[in-house]
């Protein structure tokens, strides 16, 4: 198994015809992802990279049977693209776009309530299931070994670094997900941990957090109450960040004491998470946890 996507996922690329859309669609296809269609209003009936383009998600889904979408649409139109995918009951929606206004994401979150769609992002690298499927912008070469380590990350580049450290230590990745660093996102850490705990192919979870917000703490408190646990290794980025300054992501800003890296790391450790001080320690900690 893997979580959310696998080799049978049929992916529709919203915004395929743009420069970024074409570049990353080609990379996804090279990884083995089944790209069945693209959506760009006004370009329906054309083909890009051998893939049929449709004017609407309604046409794309009904003609291809797509059940996953990835969005490379400019920020001012991205929320409309997400909501169009939700209206078609797309199972997994991955929004790569950054800079979406908070007010737009509030509308998206409201629409998601009670729907079957799961949103990853926005402002994220997406999701990859090693040797099965990639929906997003992760570098193919790093995720070339299948294994039992699941990754959840608020940072795109740190997702790649963590995976690289894990693979160099002889392990492989089951699924890696970058949830995005914006203040309002789709799936949160707890929701993804829950899926990993149910996944028979995932034996250990690596959590890459950041300063700002309480997503990591809320998830750790929930995990701490469970009986059936898998080892979780945690790292919090932004350990030298000054209070009140946004660091990289819109959501990475320290507002309260518990949102600092130092306090988060202490709380997570008290709740049973195996904390590492630097990214370079992740692979070694995986070895230690899996082979005590």
- Using one digit for the tens of pLDDT, what is the confidence trace for 5-22? 999 999 999 999 999 999
User: In the predicted model, what is the mean pLDDT of the chain?
Assistant: 91
Residue spans of the domains in the chain: they are: 1-124, 139-292
Which helix (H) or strand (E) segment holds residue 27: the answer is helix 19-31
Q: In CATH terms, are 1-124 and 139-292 the same topology?
A: yes
In CATH terms, the fold of domain 1-124 is: Rossmann fold (3.40.50)
Mean pLDDT over 119-136 rounds to 97
Give me the active site residues, please.
249
- Using one digit for the tens of pLDDT, what is the confidence trace for 165-185? 999 999 999 999 999 988 899
155, pLDDT greater than 90:
no
Q: In whole angstroms, give the CA distance from residue 180 to residue 56.
A: 26
- Which DSSP string corresponds to 196-240? HHH-TT--EEEEEEESSSSHHHHHHHHHHT-SS---EEEEEE-TT
100, pLDDT greater than 80:
yes
Per-residue pLDDT, 255: 46
Residues 6+ apart with CB under 8 A from 66: 10, 11, 12, 36, 37, 60, 90
138, pLDDT greater than 50:
yes
Burial of 90 (0-12, 13-18, 19+ CB in 10 A): buried
DSSP label of 142: G
User: Out of 3.40.50.261, 3.50.50.60, 3.40.50.300, 3.30.565.10, which CATH number does the structure's domain 139-292 have?
Assistant: 3.40.50.261
Mean pLDDT over 27-36 rounds to 98
Residue 262 pLDDT class (50, 70, 90 cuts): confident
- Using one digit for the tens of pLDDT, what is the confidence trace for 207-260? 999 888 889 999 999 999 998 779 999 999 876 555 555 545 544 444 455 567
Per-residue pLDDT, 239: 65
Question: Per residue, what are the HEC states of 70-111?
Answer: EECCCHHHHHHHHHHHHHCCCCEEEECCCCCCHHHHHHHHHH
């Amino acid at each position: 198994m893997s979580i959310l996507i696998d080799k049978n996922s049929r992916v529709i690329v919203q915004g395929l015809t743009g420069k970024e859309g074409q570049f990353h669609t080609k990379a996804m296809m090279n990884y083995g992802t089944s790209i069945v269609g693209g959506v760009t209003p006004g370009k329906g009936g054309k083909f890009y990279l051998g893939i049929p383009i449709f004017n609407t998600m309604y046409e794309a889904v009904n003609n291809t049977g797509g059940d996953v979408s990835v969005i490379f649409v400019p920020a001012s139109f991205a929320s409309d693209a997400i909501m169009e995918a939700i209206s078609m009951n797309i199972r997994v929606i991955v929004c790569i776009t950054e800079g979406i206004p908070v007010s737009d994401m509030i509308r998206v979150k409201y629409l998601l309530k009670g729907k079957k769609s799961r949103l990853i992002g926005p402002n994220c690298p997406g999701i990859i299931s090693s040797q099965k499927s990639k929906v997003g912008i992760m570098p193919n070469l790093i995720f070339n070994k299948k294994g039992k380590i699941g990754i959840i990350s608020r940072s795109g580049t740190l997702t790649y670094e963590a995976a690289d450290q894990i693979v160099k230590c002889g392990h492989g990745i089951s699924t890696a997900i970058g949830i995005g660093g914006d203040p309002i996102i789709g799936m949160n850490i707890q929701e993804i941990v829950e899926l990993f705990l149910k996944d028979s192919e995932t034996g250990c979870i690596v959590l890459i957090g950041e300063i700002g917000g309480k997503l990591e703490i809320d998830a750790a408190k929930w995990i701490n109450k469970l009986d059936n646990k898998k080892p979780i290794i945690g790292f919090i980025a932004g350990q030298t960040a000054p209070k009140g300054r946004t660091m990289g992501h819109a959501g990475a800003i320290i507002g309260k004491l518990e949102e600092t890296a130092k306090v988060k790391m202490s709380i997570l450790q008290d709740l049973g998470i195996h904390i590492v001080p630097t990214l370079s320690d992740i692979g070694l900690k995986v070895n230690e946890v899996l082979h005590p």
